[in-house]
Amino acid sequence: MKIAIVIPAHNEAMTIINCLASVQTAIEQLPSTIAAYPLVVLDSCTDNTLELIKTAGVDYICCDYHCVGRVRDMGIRHAIAHGANWLACTDADSVVTTDWLVQQINHTTQQPTDMICGVVSVDSWTHLTPQTQEDYIKHYQDMMGHHHIHGANLSFSSEAYLAVGGFAPLPCHEDVDLVKKFETRGYAITWSNRVRVITSSRLEARATEGFAAFLANLEKINL
């Protein structure tokens, strides 16, 4: 198996190093028979994200799409063209757990699956109202069999990805659209809370209807 961890980035100089460090730690937990590497897709970056990635010695490609669906698809197709047969997606403002990749492998070996939808935890609630935290926890199902979808914690086989046509060129909800394609075609999906990512609680959204926007809307209601 060859795993590519595809990470879109738009002006993520504040967070990309922690993200890549967590991915590297997760890679180091894998058996030597499995090859894995991160690939950062820089989309219209105007800060020093590129310099940080170069210093880290991580593979990268660049684009100017301003569209996360196109960015993810570009990175994944690039990785598949270079031999990756399992794709793991996360975001540049997130950190993956140490066993993030190991748990994915465990799922694929215990019961064959074409896609894994993992869960996310919020990194900090300190700048948000207690009511926002309470409302979020009430909404979120941190358990096996959940039905949350996060581009920051989504993985799948290359074969199934290509068969369904990949991520649509959408500025948001590209992850939801992809999961629906897998469901429509009858591919096996594992909804796991063993595959975990910690994501930023920032309220400045990169995508107009992404996770940051969801938190910002909760906070606005509770102010």
Indicate which CATH number applies to the domain containing 37: 3.90.550.10
Average pLDDT, integer, range 164-174: 96
Confidence of residue 99 (pLDDT cuts 50, 70, 90): very high
The pLDDT of residue 97 is 98
Q: Contacts for 72-75 with beta carbons within 8 Å, 24 or more apart?
A: 72/6, 72/8, 72/41, 72/151, 72/167, 72/174, 73/166, 73/167, 73/168, 73/169, 74/41, 75/4, 75/6, 75/7, 75/8, 75/39, 75/40, 75/41
Three-state SS for 173?
A: coil
Lowest mean pLDDT among 21-35, 121-135, 166-180: 121-135
pLDDT tens digits along 37-87: 999 999 999 999 999 999 999 999 999 999 999 999 999 999 999 999 999
Q: What is the pLDDT of residue 128?
A: 61
Spatial contact of 150 and 214, defined as CB atoms under 8 Å apart: no
pLDDT at 72: 98
Confidence at residue 199, expressed as pLDDT on a 0 to 100 scale: 83
pLDDT, residue 109, reads: 94
pLDDT average, residue stretch 165-176: 96
Q: How far apart are CA 145 and CA 118, in angstroms?
A: 10
Helix (H) or strand (E) run with residue 190 in it: strand 189-199
Domain housing 122 = 2-222
CA distance 77 to 102: 23
Q: How many domains does the chain have?
A: 1
- What pLDDT was estimated at residue 197? 97
What are the strands of the beta sheet with 59-63, ordered from one edge? 59-63, 35-43, 2-9, 86-89, 154-157, 115-122, 189-199, 94-96
Q: Give the pTM.
A: 0.88
Sign of CA dihedral 87, 93, 97, 98: positive
Summarised one tens digit per residue, pLDDT across range 2-31 is: 999 999 999 999 999 999 999 999 999 999
The predicted-structure confidence for 178-219, as pLDDT tens digits, reads as follows 999 999 999 999 999 999 999 875 556 566 656 766 666 655
Burial (CB count within 10 angstroms: exposed 0-12, middle 13-18, buried 19+), residue 138: exposed
How far apart CA 115 and CA 148 sit, in angstroms, is 13
Residue located via tokens 């948000």:
128
